[in-house]
Structure 1
Amino acid sequence: MRVITVPGHLDHRSVDQLAAQLGTWPPEERILVDAHAAEWASPSGFTALLTLAQAIAEAGGPAPRLTLPAADTVTSYWARTGFIAHADGLYELHGKVPRRRSDEASDLLLPVTPIREARDVHEVVRAVTEGATRILREELKLEATVVGGFGQSLSETCQNVVEHAGTGGWVAVHTYNYRRRLGRRVAVISVSDAGIGFRRSLEATQAKRYGDRWSDGMAIETALIHNISRFRDPGRGQGLAGTKRYLARWQGKIAIRSGTARVAIVPPWDDEPPMTEGLAWFPGAQVTVVIPGKEAPEG
């Protein structure tokens, strides 16, 4: 059995540590995902863990095991996000599974939710729109125009799974304090799928143009920076372009990981490299969008 240790803090960048422990794909032996020492996970961490188990199932492998965090407060939060309920259908769970209480979920704009078809995207956006306005305005002090664009950005990011992945995915939207880099609250959209990835999605229309330079990083850059889609219909499959414009206006961030690369559009408050290549391979594609709350006035 191959043991994969979950980092203490699991976010869109430390998912790289999960990938580095995977070994060959599909796995030649059963996998144990050990999260007993985990202290915190972002929406990106939850969706990536579900994507990993989904990809193993779709590759015909045995269901992996998941050791839940030892700390009751951590496991309770994982349950509150909806992660454990979905993980129970993909992993063999080990550890105490707490009861989920829906009345505790004030920081969850959207619990972990599956995306399988366009109808799911509409339901996700409706659910977030109904519950998010108060949180985005009161906690993050965002203006009405920002709140409206948030729903559109969420829709476009989820639609990317339906249009390109070739399989289902996962989405979660949370708010939390981003003290380390920003010192204020943020809203985070995380979308992950176990599909074919950006490189394979764009290969038929773009690989010849780039020749030997064609890679995972180049594929993500082509879609995110140059607004290129695998669809020939004008405007179709270019939802990330709309999200990018929205984030530029409000100093938000987007990072996309697919295959062995991650490309990010980085605002002044963040220090992530614009492109990271040579990462360990991870299935599908992971999109993380960060929208900062309004800075509190001094004094």
Structure 2
Amino acid sequence: MNVLALPSSLDYRTVDDLLDEAHRLPEGRALLDARHLRWVDPAGMLGLLSAGRVLFDRSSIKPRLQLPEHADVPGYMARMGFFRAAEEIFELDQRPPRRASGDTDVLLEVMPITTNHDVHEVVDRVQRSAGAILTNTLHYPMTAVVQFSVILSEVCQNILEHAEAPGWVSAQAYNWQKRLGRHVVIVAVSDLGRGFRGSLANEHSARFGDRWGDATALEAAFIHGLTRFPDTGRGQGIQQMRKQVRKWNGSIAIRSGTARIADVPEWDDAPPLSKGMESVRGSHIHILLPGMDSNA
């Protein structure tokens, strides 16, 4: 059995390593060992689902997932709706905790995106729950609630139109008092579709010639606003999201294929472009929005 050990912290900073390792595993039955996992965020949970799906599709055998030994972690994952999505992908080594009933602190649980109805449901849920967090906790203006909903709608719609494959979305707020001196919201969106290079190839690969690849495709969409549509003005979602996130002093990053591109604010030390990674399926987006209540 091929074993993949998860790190103690699985978040937007370490999820690329997980995706790379999953794609490097030989074909056959796989075991994902999460026993020592002590922290996971939305990007980490969606990365885990993506890695599991890749291994499942490769061998037609569900990979086995060993749950974290630290009781708080599977409890949190249950509140975030992770196990509801995971039951179709993993064989669990034990029964997961039940999802808490009633009100929780979850901003947006792990939700599958397969139809336009799913996108509308995401926006409805966020508009109902995000207002208090964005205005009272992060001290954003009321207008930010609508703008935040638009961003989520765009990234979810991207799964249906750009990836042409199912995906997931999730978001949560955290107190980063020690690291950043403020609250933050982390949004993650993942799919296992064609990726940016595959989506843009028919319309744009010829003009780039030998330079065409995953990094070039990400730069074309992220920086220059190129889309799979030949007519100007369609499909500008990624570039508009980038502009809005920058206004909020946030970060946005996209992993697709062998490359990762990011808009990096001064408080983040992530590289703006990474190349030569494992060729992962689909696109994996994370957005981090800091609160406005810090002197950091």
For residue 205 of structure 1, what is the aligned residue in structure 2? 203
Shift of 1:95: 2.9
CA deviation string 1:80-109 (max 9, x = no partner): 110012101210011341111033621x21
Q: Which runs of structure 2 are paired with 1:79-228 in the superposition (5 Å)?
A: 79-103=78-102, 105-106=104-105, 108-179=106-177, 181-228=179-226
The answer to whether the Cα contact below 8 Å between 2:27 and 2:58 also exists between their aligned partners in 1 is no
CA deviation string 1:258-292 (max 9, x = no partner): 11111000111111110011122322110001111
Query: Which of residues 267, 271, 281 in structure 1 aligns to 2:265?
Result: 267
For residue 3 of structure 2, what is the aligned residue in structure 1? 3
Shift of 1:152: 0.7
Distance 1:172 1:187 in 2: 11
Distance 2:69 2:94 in 1: 8
TM-score by length of 1: 0.93
Distance 2:261 2:179 in 1: 19
The answer to whether the Cα contact below 8 Å between 2:30 and 2:55 also exists between their aligned partners in 1 is no
Deviates more, 1:171-180 or 1:38-47: 171-180
CA deviation string 1:187-235 (max 9, x = no partner): 1110000111111111112222222222211111111111111122433
Shift of 1:59: 4.7
The answer to whether the Cα contact below 8 Å between 1:253 and 1:266 also exists between their aligned partners in 2 is yes
Deviates more, 1:178-187 or 1:112-121: 178-187
Distance 2:36 2:205 in 1: 42
For residue 282 of structure 1, what is the aligned residue in structure 2? 280
Shift of 1:167: 0.9
For residue 292 of structure 2, what is the aligned residue in structure 1? 294
SS of aligned partner of 2:284: strand
Shift of 1:58: 4.4
Distance 2:158 2:123 in 1: 14
Distance 1:206 1:223 in 2: 11
Unaligned runs of 5+ in 2: none
Distance 2:35 2:109 in 1: 22
The answer to whether the Cα contact below 8 Å between 2:65 and 2:92 also exists between their aligned partners in 1 is yes
CA deviation string 1:232-258 (max 9, x = no partner): 243332211221121121111100001
Unaligned runs of 5+ in 1: none
Distance 1:179 1:198 in 2: 35
SS of aligned partner of 1:77: helix
Shift of 1:24: 4.9
SS of aligned partner of 1:191: strand
Distance 1:288 1:82 in 2: 18
Distance 1:189 1:49 in 2: 15
For residue 15 of structure 1, what is the aligned residue in structure 2? 15
| Alignment RMSD (CA, Å) | 1.8
Change (3 A) 1:7 1:297: closer
For residue 65 of structure 2, what is the aligned residue in structure 1? 66
TM-score by length of 2: 0.94
The answer to whether the Cα contact below 8 Å between 1:80 and 1:104 also exists between their aligned partners in 2 is no
Distance 2:58 2:27 in 1: 11
| Residue identity (%) | 43
Distance 1:169 1:21 in 2: 20
